[in-house]
Structure 1
Amino acid sequence: MQIETPPFDRDKPRPQGERRGLVIVHTGPGKGKSTAAFGLALRAHGRGKAVKIFQFMKVPSARFGEHRLFEQLGIPIEGLGDGFSWKSRDLGHSAELALAGWHRVRDTVLSGAHFLVVLDEVMAPLRYGWIPLDELLACLRARPPQVNVLLTGRGAPPELIEAADTVTEMTKLKHHYDAGVPAQRGIED
């Protein structure tokens, strides 16, 4: 590791624009997209902001670690799916759930009642064509100016990346699965 001198440049220009709601995308093949989204949800909640989390790949009855904590904190989190699509026994039903969930998300975003709306793992139903991309983009454009929307999942479409204000791509450098270590409760759930 090379040692660096801390930056002392304090003359960076400050942004002059107005504060407004943002579209934030966490994508890429690396771990941490949902985890980072949940951290942002906690930050907003800690500031007294209204937060709503929708999970497209989790069932409504899911009780993973994030569900237990958010329930304790009073942050609504809602599963909209029937589990991970590769485990689904009825992809037609999965598609119906995703579209119905999308309608709930759209209504929530457009209502303006939440400072932050998280669409966790929304990229899969977008990629499968279960949620119309043009509808999602129209919703993001029409949202009230104070609403922030954070979307997670692998393979964000270029149109969404273009529409977003902030995009972070999580890159896998190494993963414990590759060494044969299974998922760990409290890490992956």
Structure 2
Amino acid sequence: MFTKFIAAYREELIISAFVIGILFILRLITIVAVRKLGRKSGINQARISLICRYVTGTAVILALIIESFIFGAQFRELIVIFSSVFAVLGIALFAVWSILSNVTSGIIMFFNFPYKVGDKISIHDKDFPVEAIIEDIRAFHLYLRLNNGDLITYPNNLMLQKAVSIVEKDAIEESPRDSNSAV
């Protein structure tokens, strides 16, 4: 049974191995570049790992799309499948658009964010002004330690929407530390 499958799809399997190999190499190169950029920029390991998982997920989706073409799927068939999936996802994700906004902001902040863990920042918001030390930057939010020692979470998308200034670089050593903080 297995040998019949290999005999029938020999050419497709060879092309598949080649494509998967190239995508694997591209994924490794991208992950190495992201890790170098993260270390050079002083970004913590948790954020670097998160972006690496995004790269891996994108590579897997790309591999599935390419493999479907290799094994004979027609473009029209894939369009119908993807349009159906995206219609359902669009309706489902409309309810959680703020979560997607925070994840997208987290990715943008990884590549272009002038503030690092340990910096004391001031968020200029007329409704909720904040002066705090960045303790951690996650996919959805930041952990900020207020001057009185309280730990708050602040959504990533608001960090990109509000004016933020650095009060003090790498001030985390001076702040009161919570024993279960995830820095």
Whether the TM-score (by the shorter chain) exceeds 0.5 is no
TM-score under structure 2 normalisation? 0.23
TM-score under structure 1 normalisation? 0.22
Give the number of the structure with larger relative contact order, counting CA–CA contacts within 8 Å between residues 6 or more apart. Answer: 1
Which one has the largest radius of gyration?
2
Q: Which has the higher helix share?
A: 2
